[in-house]
Amino acid sequence: MPSNKQRREAAQRRLQRQLERRAELARKRRRNLLIGVTAAAVVLVVGTVLLVTGTGGDDADPAAAEATPASAAPPTPGVVDGSDGTCDWTPVDTAANPNLQADTGTPPVEVTPTGTTEVDVTTNFGAIGLTLDNANAPCAVASMVYLAGQGYFDGTVCHRETDSEGLQVLQCGDPSGTGTGGPAYEFPTQVTGAETYPRGTVAMANSGQGFDGSQFFLVWGDSQLPPSYTVLGTVDEAGLATLDTIAANGNDGSNGPGDGAPTQEVRIQSLVVAA
């Protein structure tokens, strides 16, 4: 049990991290504005589509959230947030985005930064087993465990499937099914800059602002993405077989060629932490 002195020191560290992140976000917004002005005069051919979610603000429009190719500056690599056993959960303005769930509360501040966590996902196409890496993504794992304990993911649809050459994923975790939903909090993307996304990876989608919520993606085919997405862990062999069945059905192309809602609805019947 931490002493009062340890709690005060942990609180001071969290406050310092929050101040540093706010300053960093302000710098990124100024830089992104300059990039946006420059990009208006240049036509770029983008080989991959970034995985984004809408958590309010610039990405509140579902169409923009689902189809915008590249709006995010990669988060600044550094020490993995949560490695000290604590995480910062930043409240979001749920009034600005009706697809956010205002009643989720926030996970505990203290988390487990070691070992792995097994998660069982049951879908209408079959089972998907996940092994989550607490050391690599302590805050993201803690968030998924917390939300799973509320039944947050149960009965939700996986709203996006992609089957382009460089991006082959199934995206889930939004109870609204719109691609813009999430919980009443967000937390920093946890990357080192060395992340890759081969077949069997499970990772967090984000809003393009360096913050994660509840949406995640399951990689069924090797995908070429920048190291901007928290790697949560891996999918088991049975889960990959389930994903292959889902992927074989394709998508409706509503976000562009090879990108859209699954042609056959994919529904998470339950997502629970294994006993």
Q: Look at residue 120 in the predicted model and tell me its pLDDT.
A: 98
Q: Look at residue 90 in the predicted model and tell me its pLDDT.
A: 93
Q: Which CA distances in Å does 256 have to 55, 69, 253, 260, 261?
A: 22, 10, 5, 7, 11
140 in any annotated domain: yes
39 in any annotated domain: no
Over the stretch 5-24, which tens digit does the pLDDT of each residue have? 655 566 566 656 655 655 55
Over the stretch 66-90, which tens digit does the pLDDT of each residue have? 322 223 344 444 446 777 889 989 9
Q: Domains in the chain: how many in total? A: 1
Give the structural domain span for 102. Answer: 45-273
Half-sphere exposure of 246 (CA within 13 A, CB side): 33
Confidence check: pLDDT of 58 > 50: no
260 in any annotated domain: yes
- Work out the number of other CB atoms within 10 angstroms of the CB of residue 184: 17
Residues of the chain above pLDDT 90, percent: 65
Average pLDDT taken over every residue of the chain: 80
20 in any annotated domain: no
Q: Look at residue 210 in the predicted model and tell me its pLDDT.
A: 83
| Separation CA 2–CA 14 (nearest Å) | 15
Asked if 46 contacts 194 with a C-beta cutoff of 8 angstroms, the reply is no
6 in any annotated domain: no
Q: Look at residue 26 in the predicted model and tell me its pLDDT.
A: 47
181 in any annotated domain: yes
| Separation CA 89–CA 61 (nearest Å) | 24
64 in any annotated domain: yes
213 in any annotated domain: yes
Nearest partner of 198 among 171, 239, 163, 169, judged by Cα: 169
Q: What tokens appear for 4 in the block?
A: 């009062």
What is the domain-level CATH number for residue 151? 2.40.100.10
The secondary structure of 59-108 as a DSSP string is G-SHHHHHH----PPPPPP-SPTTTTSB---EE--GGG-TTB-TT-----
**For residues 168-188, average pLDDT:** 96
**For residues 250-262, average pLDDT:** 96
Q: Look at residue 178 in the predicted model and tell me its pLDDT.
A: 94
Classify 111 as helix, strand or coil. Answer: coil
Confidence check: pLDDT of 155 > 80: yes
Q: Is the model more confident about 36 or about 260?
A: 260
Confidence check: pLDDT of 31 > 50: no
The residue to which tokens 């996940």 are assigned: 130
Q: What tokens appear for 204 in the block?
A: 């967090």
Q: Look at residue 11 in the predicted model and tell me its pLDDT.
A: 57
